[in-house]
C-alpha cells in the first residue's frame, strides 16, 4: 500500500492548534516511510488536489472544530462520502477550506481513488506558537492510526 502514498499536512504554524496537520506531517517525514511522500500545505487549501495527483492512497491531516473534546482524532474516508464541512470550519488562515476544496475536487473528478482525512479536534486557534497539551498528546494516537492504515506495525 505504500508504493505511491502521499500524506499532506494542512495548517498554519502561527495559529496554535491549527498547526497540528503540519506538525504531524513533519513527524511522519522523520519516520522516512518507504514509498511515502509527505507534503505541507500552508494557507489556502484551494490547491490541494494538485498535491494528491497520482497518489494512491492520499492522506490529509488538519485541525478540526466540531465540539468534541480537544485532542479527539477522527478519520473520514472522503472517497465514500463528503467531509462534514462544519467540522473543518474554524478560525483559520485557509481562504478556501479543506471541505470546500475536497467537494470541488469531487465535482471535477479530481479525487484520488483513496483519500483518508484525519481531523484532530483543536482547542486554541488564536495567534501564537505551540499546540495545546491535549492536541500534542493526540499525535501518538494519530501516528499509530496512520501506520495501521498503511499496513505497518510497530511504533
pTM beyond 0.95, yes or no: no
154 in a structural domain:
no
72 in a structural domain:
yes
**CATH code, domain with 27:** 3.40.50.1450
pLDDT value, residue 109: 80
63 in a structural domain:
yes
62 closest CA partner among 118, 101, 100, 7:
118
Q: Which residue's C-alpha cell is 495527483? A: 53
13 in a structural domain:
yes
Q: What is the DSSP string of 13-37?
A: TTBGGGGHHHHHHHHHHHTT-TTEE
> Which cell numbers in the block locate residue 64?
478540526
pLDDT in tens, 8-20: 999 999 999 999 9
30 in a structural domain:
yes
92 — pLDDT class (breaks 50, 70, 90): very low
28 in a structural domain:
yes
Strands (E), 12-123: 36-42, 58-64, 73-77, 115-121
Number of domains forming the structure of the chain? 1
Handedness of CA 14, 139, 26, 79 (dihedral sign): negative
Amino acid at each position: 500500500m505504500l508504493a505511491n502514498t502521499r500524506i499532506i499536512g494542512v495548517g498554519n504554524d502561527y495559529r496554535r492548534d491549527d498547526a497540528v496537520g503540519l506538525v504531524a506531517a513533519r513527524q511522519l517525514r522523520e519516520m522516512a516511510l518507504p514509498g511515502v511522500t509527505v507534503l505541507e500545505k500552508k494557507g489556502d487549501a484551494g490547491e490541494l488536489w494538485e498535491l494528491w495527483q497520482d497518489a494512491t492512497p492520499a492522506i490529509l491531516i488538519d485541525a478540526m472544530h466540531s465540539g468534541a473534546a480537544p485532542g479527539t482524532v477522527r478519520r473520514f474516508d472522503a472517497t465514500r462520502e463528503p467531509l462534514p464541512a462544519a467540522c473543518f470550519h474554524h478560525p483559520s488562515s485557509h481562504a478556501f477550506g479543506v471541505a470546500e476544496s475536497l467537494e470541488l475536487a469531487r465535482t471535477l473528478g479530481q479525487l484520488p481513488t483513496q483519500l483518508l482525512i484525519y481531523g484532530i479536534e483543536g482547542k486554541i486557534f488564536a495567534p501564537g506558537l505551540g499546540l495545546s497539551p491535549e492536541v500534542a498528546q493526540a499525535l501518538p494516537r494519530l501516528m499509530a492510526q496512520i501506520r495501521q492504515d498503511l499496513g505497518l506495525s510497530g511504533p
